[in-house]
Structure 1
Amino acid sequence: MNVVKLLMHSFVTRLIIVSALLVGVAPETLGQTVPDTLAQRLKACTSCHGAQGRASTDGYYPRIAGKPQGYLLNQLKNFREGRRTFPMMNYMVGHLGDDYLIEISRYFADLHPPYAAPQRLDLAPELLERGRLLVLNGDEQRRIPACIHCHGKQMTGLAPFIPGIAGLPRDYLIAQLGAWQTGSRHAASPDCMQTISRQLSPQDVSAVSGWLSQQVIPDQGIAPQMPADAVPHLPLHCGSVPGS
C-alpha cells in the first residue's frame, strides 16, 4: 500500500470513529463499552482540537474551549451549510440539527482550561512590529480597520459572537486569512472578515499572524459579554454579528 493510500485509509478510519462518537453509535459497534454522554460523544471534537478543546499541538487545529457560544454555533452552521470547507468537519456536522449544534457550542463555551504558552517562533523584529501596528492601529489609507476594533483591546473577543484571536497558532491564522481571501471560507453576508482579509498583502498576513501568535492570553481569555440590548459599534457591518 503506497503512502497516499495509507493516508487515505487513516483519514477514513478516523472519520468513521469520530463520526460514530458524535452521533452516539451503540458502544458495541466500536467494540468498546463507553457511556453515551455528551462529553463522550464530543471526543469526536477533542480528538483533533485537544483535550477539553484546548487546541492541538500541531499548530493547526485551534482552541475551541471558552470561545463565545454564538461564535461556535455560527461556525458549526457554516461547516454544515458549506460556507466553510474542511472534509471531516463538513461530514461530521452535515446532518446534525440546530438543537444539537447549540448543545455542542454551549458545552465548549463553558470550558475554560488554562491556555498553553505562545508558540516559540523566530520572527524578525520588523515583521512583528508591522503586525503589531496592523492589529492595534489598522491602516486607514488601505481601509484596514484595527483588529482590536472588533476583537477587543485585549483581543479576547466579545461574547456572544466575536472570538478571541490572541495566541492562536500562526499556521491556523495564516490558513484562515488565506481561506477568506480565496473565498473558500465564508460567513453570513455581509462577510466583513472576507472584505478585510482581501485588503491584506501576503506580508500583512505573515506579520499579523506572527504577532498575534506571540501574545500571552490575559485573564484566561474569557470574552466580555456584550449587553443583550447593546448595538455593537463595529467598523464594518458583519452578518455574523446581529445589529452591527
Structure 2
Amino acid sequence: MAERMAACTVCHGKEGRATADGYYPRIAGKPEGYLLHQLQSFRDGQRRYPMMNYLLANLSDDYLQQIAIFFAAQHPPYPPPVATEASATVLERGRQLVTTGQPAQRMPACAACHGDGLGGVAPGIPGLLGLPKDYINAQLGAWRNGERKAKAPDCMGEIARALSPEDINAASSWLAAQPVPPDYRPAAAPPKPLPTQCGSMGPAVSKPGTMGAIP
C-alpha cells in the first residue's frame, strides 16, 4: 500500500507528515471522513489546486477511500512548533478566538467543533495543531474570499467571513505556536452538539470513476 501512496508522499512527506517547508500540509492522522471529503472536493472541482485536481480527476470513491484510510492510520511524531514572531497581544487574541470565540457576535470557538484538545473529531473534523501559520492563514483567507468552498451550509465560509484579517492572523499565530501532545488524536465524537450546521459533515456521495479500490 505504501508504494501506491508515493504520488501523495512526494509532496506531503513520508507517511504524510508534511514537508519541512510546510507548504504542503500534513495529512497523516487526519480523520478518515475528512480526508475522503477533501479528496472528493479536489476531484469534483469544489476545491481547486491544479495538481490535485489533475491527479484525482478519474479516481473512484473506493480508491479515494483507501487513500483516506491509509493516511488516517499514520501517526508519525510532530516536530516542535516554529518560534512565533507574534506579539503577546496578538497571541492572546488568537487564544480567545480559538478557545472561547466571540459569544456576543455568536461566533463559536474553534474548539467547539474541532475538539477541546483541537485534535479534530471523527469522522469529518480535522485537527488544527501542527500546521504552519501561513497554511492556516491561507485556508481561512480562501474561505473568507470564496476561493475555498464546502457543501452547503458552508460553516467554515460563514465563520471566516465574520473574521477580520487581523483576527485570522491572530488565530493562525496562536494555533501554529502550540506544541502537539504525544497522544494527539481525533476524538471519537464531539463532547456536545456542534454549534453550527456544516454540510461537509453529511454523508459523502459516491461517484464512480475509472479506477477501483487499491488492492
Q: TM-score, normalised by structure 2?
A: 0.90
**Equivalent residue number for residue 235 of structure 1:** 195
User: Could you list the per-position Cα deviations for residues 173-193 of structure 1 after superposition, in whole angstroms to 9, with x for gaps in the alignment?
Assistant: 001001101111111111100
Which residue, 157, 161, 173 being the options, matches 2:124? 161
Q: CA deviation at 1:225?
A: 1.3
**Equivalent residue number for residue 135 of structure 2:** 172
Note the aligned Cα RMSD (angstroms).
1.6
Q: CA deviation at 1:196?
A: 0.3
**Equivalent residue number for residue 126 of structure 1:** 89
Name the aligned partner's letter for residue 55 of structure 1.
A
**Equivalent residue number for residue 210 of structure 1:** 173
**Equivalent residue number for residue 72 of structure 1:** 35
Paired residue secondary structure (2:162): coil
Gaps in structure 1 of 5+ consecutive residues: 1-37
Q: CA deviation at 1:237?
A: 0.4
Paired residue secondary structure (1:240): helix
Contact 1:170 1:213 in 2 (8 A): yes
The alignment status of 1:87 with 2:47, answered yes or no, reads no
Counterparts of 1:96 and 1:126 in 2: how far apart (Å)? Answer: 46
Contact 2:124 2:201 in 1 (8 A): yes
Question: 1:1-244, aligned counterparts within 5 Å?
Answer: 38-226=1-189, 233-242=193-202
Contact 1:66 1:111 in 2 (8 A): yes
Contact 2:77 2:182 in 1 (8 A): no
Name whichever structure is richer in helix by fraction: 1
Paired residue secondary structure (1:126): helix
Gaps in structure 2 of 5+ consecutive residues: 204-215
User: Could you list the per-position Cα deviations for residues 25-72 of structure 1 after superposition, in whole angstroms to 9, with x for gaps in the alignment?
Assistant: xxxxxxxxxxxxx31121111111111100111122111001000000
Structure with max Cα Rg: 1
Name the aligned partner's letter for residue 199 of structure 2.
G
Q: How many residues align?
A: 203
Paired residue secondary structure (2:51): helix
Counterparts of 1:46 and 1:104 in 2: how far apart (Å)? Answer: 11
Contact 1:83 1:184 in 2 (8 A): no
- Greater RCO, 1 or 2 (C-alpha within 8 Å, sep 6+): 2
Contact 1:114 1:220 in 2 (8 A): no
| Percent of aligned pairs with the same amino acid | 52
